[in-house]
Structure 1
Amino acid sequence: MFERLTKDARAVIEGAVAHARGGGARTVEAEHVLLAVLDSEGSRASFALSALGLGESRDAVREAVGEARRRAGLTRAEADALAGLGIDVREVVARVEEAHGVGAMAGESGSPGWWGGGRPRFG
């Protein structure tokens, strides 16, 4: 099936896998695909994102994705909603990372997962 994709689409998939691998994720998620599309300058998808104003904010998008992963995938809106209930997500993240290391809530682990072989899983 992979060979039926366009050259640009294959490059995005490969880039998404690389982003997931680099972040220690066990599955390729939407944020990995988004980062790969932002990296694929000159593609139609990259052009579309640039037209929406995301092209110039590539670094901000990367930072936001990294912060969301540290919050176990919670969006800022969800963190704000929890704050309204008296739950400080930043404090929760800080305490978990203090006990278990940076990135603990992101599900990052030292185990090779599917990187040691086999096919990547997409979430």
Structure 2
Amino acid sequence: MFERFTKDARAVVVGAVGHAERGSADAVDDGHLLLALLDREASRGSFALASLGAARHRDSIEEALSGARRRGGLSQADAAALAGLGIDVAEIVSRVEEAHGEGALTDGGGKSGSGAGRSGSGKAGRGWFGRVPFSREAKDTLVKSLRIATARRDRRIGDEHLLLALTVRPGIVSEVLADHGVTHAAVDRVLWGGPAAAAG
């Protein structure tokens, strides 16, 4: 599948690996893909992010991703649902960090990493390019980007397809993007002027 990626999409994938490695993460996740998209300039994906204002709010996006990692990967919606049951996630995180150190629920034990669990070895595994492997969610996002490109009858997978995939996959990244005005409909409108064909 990687041979179908444009130069910009490949740069996002390689950039995501770099973010995961710098954060000592066990795996590349959707958050790393988003950060790599935010790093891009002069591409369709970066144009959409800039047009929707997300590029100006990178710090806020990084903070939201970091907050989700501190909560052990729980989204704001998950935390709100648990609060409805009388479970205070912030209090639990505070107590765990008090006992085990700040960032104890994150991958990498307090380092800025992915939301994936630790392997127990303390060292990141190796995958594509002899580097950190891709998490199941990141692999699913790459497959979803292929489906989106195919539904649009695009021959190549661009970084815009990766962005669209991140907006439709349920989870923390799509929640963070939506909180910053980046939804599937908004990206589609910016790039193509209307609603996209539904991709399975």
For normalisation by structure 2, the TM-score amounts to 0.55
Matched, 1:36 2:48: no
* Distance in structure 2 (CA, Å) of the matches to 1:102 and 1:14: 29
Pick the structure with more helix per residue. Answer: 1
Partner of 2:116: none
After TM superposition, give the deviation of residue 2 of structure 1 in Å.
4.7
Deviations 1:33-91 (A, max 9, x none): 00110111222111112222211111110110111111111111111111111111111
Partner of 1:108: 108
Q: Which amino acid aligns with 1:57?
A: H
Partner of 1:22: 22
Partner of 1:56: 56
Q: Which amino acid aligns with 2:39?
A: D
After TM superposition, give the deviation of residue 3 of structure 1 in Å.
5.7
Partner of 2:99: 99
* Distance in structure 1 (CA, Å) of the matches to 2:3 and 2:102: 38
Equivalent residues of 2:21, 2:132 under 8 A apart: no
Q: How many residues align?
A: 122
What RMSD in Å do the two structures reach over aligned CA positions?
Answer: 2.1
Structure 1 outlier segments of 4+, above 3 Å: 1-5
Partner of 2:5: 5
Partner of 1:118: 130
* Distance in structure 1 (CA, Å) of the matches to 2:8 and 2:106: 29
Q: Which amino acid aligns with 2:95?
A: R
Structure 1 unaligned runs (5+)? none
Q: Which amino acid aligns with 2:82?
A: L
Given the superposition, is the C-alpha separation of residues 24 and 120 from structure 1 closer, same or farther in structure 2, using an over 3 Å criterion? closer
Partner of 1:66: 66
After TM superposition, give the deviation of residue 111 of structure 1 in Å.
1.6
Structure 2 unaligned runs (5+)? 110-120, 136-200
